[in-house]
Structure 1
Amino acid sequence: MNKKKILIVDDEEDIRNIVSIYLENNDFETVKVENGIKALEVIDKEKIELAILDVMMPDMDGITLCIKIREKTNMPIIMLSAKDQDMDKVMGLTCGADDYVAKPFNPIELLARVRAQLRRFNELNPVQMNSEELRYDDFILKIDAHKLIKKGEEIRLTPTEFKILKLLWINRGIVFSTEKIFEKIWGEEEFEVDNTVMVHIRNLRDKVEEDNKKPKYIKTVWGVGYKFGD
């Protein structure tokens, strides 16, 4: 049986070692790094099932790292921090983390959280993701081929529509404002982006939704932005 590989990112060596010992004693494989740059390198090269990120790290903090990981994958992320204030927890979860554990922590509790997140992701998450395609309901998004397939038939998307759909799909459930979508897709900040993004969203809905008035896939969170799925 292949062991699931967990990435541990913390600038404190003792924390990395403690977490690693408990995980490896419970049939997990671990990769330990001390900063966000090395973490991103590992994610690009290895198949990581879940990441545990310290919030307070030099150079690249855990919040920034979490956002960058979410641009690459929707694997479970658990934030680990000495801070336990509500605002810190909200920031971690808003940036795309799945869970938050405050230091000092009980390693047994952290182990339970890891198992719960992996179980939730692998058993309950309808998105099955690999390096080439994403699946959801009747849809297949072929990453390398830049194609959207529904029940064996291709739905033709423009390059921009494909990028927006991929961004929302990979980050399923996370709400993106129109400004953030524009920044991610066009690679620059813009203050008057509502119409541009809304046009592309409307075109996408025309192609993927059965009823634009009751969208099932590309949903509006009023006053906030857009998200994919539940």
Structure 2
Amino acid sequence: MNRAKIGIVDDEVGMRDALVALLTENHFDPVPMESSADFLVIRKSVDLDLVLIDLQLNGESGLELAMDIRSKGDLPIVMLSGHGDETDKIVGLEVGADDYLLKPFNPRELIARIRAVLRRYGKGASVPMASGENDQKLALGALVVDRINKIVSTTDGHEVPLTNAEYRLLDFFLDRPNEIIPRVDLLAEIGSDLTRYMDRTIDVLILRLRRKIEENPSKPVHLQTRRGQGYIFVTENSGLNH
């Protein structure tokens, strides 16, 4: 199965290169372009599954390109913009963009948005699994953790959005199942200042992660507290399997 082809229309070479690297790492096939003219030429010979369009292209508008694409078909569009004007976002969505993300963006959030849009168009299956990927999928109650693509989703395929810190914390626990981890070790893992935010930082992250992965966050089955010692991720008899 071919990887999903993702067009990138951005006149900034550094951003194009970064997006190419990010998409490649996440098992997409990136197709970089500098302008609308490049897109019109490439589109004739390349069957794209989705296109990322920068709002402010050199000497032209990404919105106009999005409008042109939408007038001719149903190619999924995700707009990227370095401007925080809410009006730009509204206009972008009104002209037919499927999603809109402000620069600088969280790389994992962009990948999550791309996958979500592809799924809405019924193209989720066009994203292939990497070799050995099935071996790195863990069942966590009603959730599935894909440790290759760093994605947590429900069993019916809906992604559970985690921040970088939340996922890193989960990943850290998964590598140390049924082991009590002191706060100082968790803080070292997420790179926080050990002298200023020791208790509060971890407590807040743990609370947020519980809300996303536990059926009843107030009575966690997996991510449990050991008072005076730290936290433990309980997997025994919990349905967490390779």
TM-score (norm 1): 0.52
Q: Would the aligned equivalents of 1:40 and 1:69 in 2 still touch at CA under 8 Å?
A: no
Q: CA RMSD in A?
A: 1.4
* Partner SS, residue 45 of structure 1: coil
In 2: Cα distance, 1:119 partner to 1:48 partner: 15
Amino acid at match of 1:7: G
Deviations 1:35-79 (A, max 9, x none): 111112212221000000000012321000001111222021000
Partner of 2:234: none
Structure 1 position 10, deviation (Å): 0.3
Which structure has the bigger radius of gyration?
A: 2
Amino acid at match of 1:38: D
Amino acid at match of 2:44: D
Partner of 2:239: none
CA spacing shift, 1:117–1:38, aligned 2, 3 Å: same
Deviations 1:108-157 (A, max 9, x none): 11111000100111169xxxxxxxxxxxxxxxxxxxxxxxxxxxxxxxxx
In 2: Cα distance, 1:30 partner to 1:73 partner: 20
In 2: Cα distance, 1:120 partner to 1:61 partner: 26
In 1: Cα distance, 2:123 partner to 2:101 partner: 22
In 1: Cα distance, 2:59 partner to 2:36 partner: 8
- Where do residues 57-68 of structure 1 align in structure 2 (5 Å cutoff)? 57-68=57-68
* Partner SS, residue 71 of structure 1: helix
Partner of 2:83: 83
Amino acid at match of 1:120: R
Q: Would the aligned equivalents of 1:77 and 1:97 in 2 still touch at CA under 8 Å?
A: yes
Partner of 1:27: 27
Partner of 2:15: 15
Partner of 2:39: 39
Structure 1 position 26, deviation (Å): 1.3
Unpaired runs of 5+ residues, structure 1, are: 125-230
Amino acid at match of 2:4: K
In 2: Cα distance, 1:48 partner to 1:94 partner: 22
Structure 1 position 2, deviation (Å): 0.8
Partner of 1:99: 99
Structure 1 position 83, deviation (Å): 1.1
In 1: Cα distance, 2:8 partner to 2:120 partner: 20
Unpaired runs of 5+ residues, structure 2, are: 125-242
In 2: Cα distance, 1:26 partner to 1:76 partner: 18
- Which contiguous aligned blocks of 4+ residues in structure 1 show a shift greater than 2 angstroms? none
Q: Would the aligned equivalents of 2:23 and 2:30 in 1 still touch at CA under 8 Å?
A: yes
TM-score (norm 2): 0.49
In 1: Cα distance, 2:37 partner to 2:53 partner: 12
Number of equivalenced pairs: 124
- Where do residues 67-146 of structure 1 align in structure 2 (5 Å cutoff)? 67-122=67-122
Amino acid at match of 1:32: P
Q: Would the aligned equivalents of 2:49 and 2:123 in 1 still touch at CA under 8 Å?
A: no
